[in-house]
Chain A
Amino acid sequence: MTAIRVSDLSKTFGKGAGGRSGSRRALDGISLSIGHGEMVALIGASGSGKSTLIRHVSGLLVADRGKIGKSSEVTVHGSPVQVNGRLSHDVRRLRADVAVIFQQFNLVGRLSLLENVLLGGLGRIGFWRGSLGRFSRAEKMAAMEALARVDMADYAMQRASTLSGGQQQRGAIARALLQKASIILADEPIASLDPESARRVMQSLAEINREDGTTVVVSLHQVAYAKKYCPRAVALAQGRLLYDGPSDALDVATLCALYGAQCEELLMDETMGSGTPPEPATGPAAAHPTLRAVGCNGD
């Protein structure tokens, strides 16, 4: 069964659509389908379109409007999230089933960790009860269980802003767990974390995938983590799909063939030993105008 299906998705940022001057093509005709219960790595350098793709799947961004007869579509469990750049009317119901984990955690700093986790249930409970924050005892217990599962139960009453990056990210995973989503999209979840925190976060995601059968799509910019935790890898560069297949097959030679000089950023961990702090690199996409030509060879 297909959990996520993306077809012919394009997104242009900047002044209007259509590739006018000043605009930037973030996604270029992406088609992809991910089965239920898969754990997929979305790899690519900074600016390759990973985050943009994830935001489209949860309906936080809308695609470009295509020409007639050539429309883009994103579906989750067969229900459309957006069709040809228009959000579906029940996008909120679909979002409740697709949890998103962000690079910067996106917790509410002034609320306690427990409250933050409880907010994960907003999409499933009634409007008034949710808005007044009247969570039931059972929901609070479920939130504590979710926190215990990521080893964060001791910090439940602490304000999110007082926690370290790795602790906040595990809190964000607990929020996703409480959401009881069948799909978790993690957008660079470890890019701002130290190696030990990164390992624990990836471990938690892999466990959730294995034990709950949750579909996990995680974007990474280091191939080492992808190979370790995700059987399947999808590689993007400049908004185009370069590779979709087993992550084991992504050896140095393949990556360099796919990415050219940019492959250094992706291989950071392999050349420096596993567990090197991943520095979010900036700008290499702009610095390598030859990449598009390399991408064409890879098709």
Chain B
Amino acid sequence: MEDAAPRYAVSAIALPQPDRRARFLKTVGWAVFCAALLGSWRGAEMRPLDLLNYAGNMRVFAEGFFPPDFSQWRLFLQEMLVTLQIALWGTALAVVAAVPFGVLSAENVVPWWVCQPVRRLMDSFRAINEMVFAMLFVVAVGLGPFAGVMALFVHTTGILAKLFSEAVEAVDPRPVEGIRATGAHPVQEVIFGVIPQVMPLWISFALYRFESNVRSATVVGLVGAGGIGMVLWEDIRGFNYSETAAVMILIVITVTLLDLASQRLRKLFT
């Protein structure tokens, strides 16, 4: 509106009036946010002073971590390898399952009465954290890495199916129509028209999930689903902090290296 003001002279140009409504809403927004923070103080049992009061204890606790004890490095490396293997299998199975589920939850490929139920199923896979699945699978298939694989598999299927279907919904419909016009079967339209278009994205998503699953696989061990997490849990429970420190350092190094490698690999495909 101010733009349209006539430009006779500088004195005729007025400063634009701030929008009162926007300012009011902004104030209300901040007020609500602050109220939520204050209201949650009790619930979250915030006791920042304890950090000062128990500083001595914490110093003793922190000292326990040093020096890190790598004397059991053979075991650590072996369990780290198991963790990577859990992540690899969990991701691979999830990719295999996410391809059909992803296509079946894409609006532009299947009718709503297929895509809506499949999407809700995938939502439920995603909604429940892999730790919860790990606890359930430990009960179902016993302690050990297989429970971890299954937990990652189910949760990652939910995530990848959603990402895959979003890629499918963004494809160019024209090549698909070109294939339909040759008299091809609808499944062949997907195989040759859709999948070549989404492949780079799908590979990139799968690698990214593998990366995240290595991180997740280090914690599913905490509930008995195998891998380095199990060692970590034993050490923390046994107050063996110098070994805990060694394991944590190993996890940081592994995850960092993998992130770097996977980033490089993903760049190749996009």
- Bits for A81-120, please: 1 = Cβ < 8 Å to B, else 0: 0000000000011111111101011111111000000011
Closest to B194 in A: A108
Known: A130-B188, A172-B178. A108 touches B193 (CB 8 A): yes
**Chain A residues whose C-beta falls within 8 Å of the C-beta of B67 in the assembled complex:** none
Q: In this assembly, does A58 line the interface, its C-beta being within 8 Å of a C-beta of chain B?
A: yes
Stretch from A121-129, A209-217, A240-248 contacting the other chain: A121-129
Residues of B within 8 A of A179 (CB): 182-183
Residues of A within 8 A of B140 (CB): none
Residue of A nearest to B196 (CB): A110
A95-B182, A96-B182 are known contacts. Are A60 and B192 too (CB-CB below 8 A)?
A: no
User: Are B185 and A96 in touch, CB under 8 angstroms?
Assistant: no
The yes or no answer to A131 lying at the interface (CB within 8 A) is yes
- The tally of residues in A whose CB lies under 8 Å from a CB in B reads 33
CB-defined contacts of B184 to chain A, threshold 8 Å: 92, 119, 122-123, 130
Residue of A nearest to B197 (CB): A110
Is B174's beta carbon under 8 Å from chain A? yes
Known: A106-B174, A109-B175, A110-B197. A119 touches B183 (CB 8 A): no
State whether B183 touches A95 (Cβ < 8 A). Answer: yes
Enumerate B155-193 residues with CB–CB distance to A below 8 Å.
Answer: 174-175, 177-185, 187-188, 191-193
Contact of A111 among B174, B188, B196 (CB under 8 A): B196
Cα separation A133 to B193 with both chains bound (whole Å): 13
* 8 Å CB contact of A100 from B181, B185, B187, B199: B181
A119 CB contacts on chain B under 8 angstroms: 179, 182, 184, 192
A58, A92, A105: the one contacting B185 at CB < 8 Å is A92
Of B179, B181, B187, which is within 8 A of A108 by CB? B179
A interface, CB within 8 angstroms of B: 58, 60, 92-100, 102, 104-111, 119-124, 127, 130-131, 133, 172, 175, 179
